[in-house]
Structure 1
Amino acid sequence: MMETNRLYLRDYSEGDFDFLKSLLSDPEVVRYIGHGTVKTEDEMKAFFRWIQHTYVQHADFGLKVVCLKENDEPIGHAGLVPQTIEGVNELEVGYWIGRRYWRNGYASEIAEELKRYGFENLNRQRLNSLIQPENEGSVKVAKKIGMKLDKKIKLKGKDVHVYAVEQG
């Protein structure tokens, strides 16, 4: 299990659907995710199944629930997410924090741990984050953990900036 001083990650379980739904139905949380709109119930269920499928690929991959150590409360999700970018298989440091927990440094804290884990435990040489250019909060997190703008791409019709960091 990955953990920091204040947080830990755990796999999503069936009982976490309502928590995921709370993230996916908040317009501010999903503003810079995909097309920036809240998901329908069917889309939420499909996304939940996709998350659980990534665990089958590799136990360390996929979005995991971010919980506060002090009370086990779920506050968001984050993880190392397999992505294909311009035909290349990459591993993304992904992070979403529920709105009421913004501006507490949680995203930076868990992103730094994911970066460390990816380099030290998974022997990855490169990690990235896919960020829509208007998402200033996520850009700050990426820069804080040492990522730099690598390239600009189109992903499902949206402008996306690829931030990357290499080991060493």
Structure 2
Amino acid sequence: MKTIIETERLLLRPFTTDDAEAYFPLCVIPEVIRYVGNKPMASVEEVRASLLEGPVTDYKKYGFGRFAVVWKESGQLIGFSGLKYMPPFAEVELGYRLLPEFWGKGLAQEAGKASIKFGKESLNLTKLIALVHPENEGSANVARKLGFEVEKQVRMELVPGVDMNMFARDL
């Protein structure tokens, strides 16, 4: 998968295992992982394995996956945005995660818009979901700004005992 998407301030590109060191902070900072159900990763090697098992495998299996989000100004990897097939729901999810210093700047929305456009134009998708922890108002606000509305609550193994809000939107 060689897709590169450019927005005003960002580049969205496929992850490689070489991104593990730059991606590591997004897997350990408590504020970043608070609502996603992941435990902090212990090492860069664990992150490398996660990238290989996650987006890198998804690119081969489904033809798409989460993109690395790169701040154009510096070339720094600042998060992810993009699409992921969710087998438990037979749906494609839009997800996003950024380093805290990049919150509140409209970047999740900017990356999300580009990911939605990619899903519609390149993958011919007709619907997307976004799974949001009920206490994660920041993520819920991004989903709403991107045109998603709460469709229902769902349980996920990753976040035991919590009914996640499943937002949805037609494309």
Q: Same fold (TM over 0.5)?
A: yes
Distance 1:44 1:14 in 2: 8
Residue pair 2:112, 2:146 contacting (<8 A) in 1 also: yes
SS at match of 1:134: coil
Name the Cα RMSD after superposition.
1.6
Distance 1:122 1:82 in 2: 12
Q: Which amino acid aligns with 1:63?
A: R
Runs of 4+ aligned structure 1 residues displaced above 4 Å come to none
Q: TM-score, normalised by structure 2?
A: 0.88
* Counterpart residue number, 2:132: 131
Alignment of 1:1-168 (within 5 A): 1-35=4-38, 37-41=39-43, 43-50=46-53, 51-59=55-63, 61-85=64-88, 88-156=89-157, 157=160, 158-167=162-171
| C-alpha displacement of 1:45 | 4.0
**1:96-143 CA distance string (max 9 Å, x none):** 001111111100111111112212221111001111111111100000
Number of residue pairs aligned between Structure 1 and Structure 2: 163
SS at match of 2:5: coil
Q: Which runs of 5+ in 2 are unaligned?
A: none
Q: TM-score, normalised by structure 1?
A: 0.89
Q: Which amino acid aligns with 2:14?
A: D
Q: Which amino acid aligns with 1:8?
A: L
Distance 2:72 2:22 in 1: 17
Q: Which amino acid aligns with 2:90?
A: N
Distance 1:155 1:68 in 2: 31
User: Identical aligned pairs, as a percentage?
Assistant: 33
Distance 1:9 1:45 in 2: 19
| C-alpha displacement of 1:15 | 2.1
Query: Which range moved further: 8-17 or 91-100?
Result: 8-17
Distance 2:149 2:139 in 1: 12
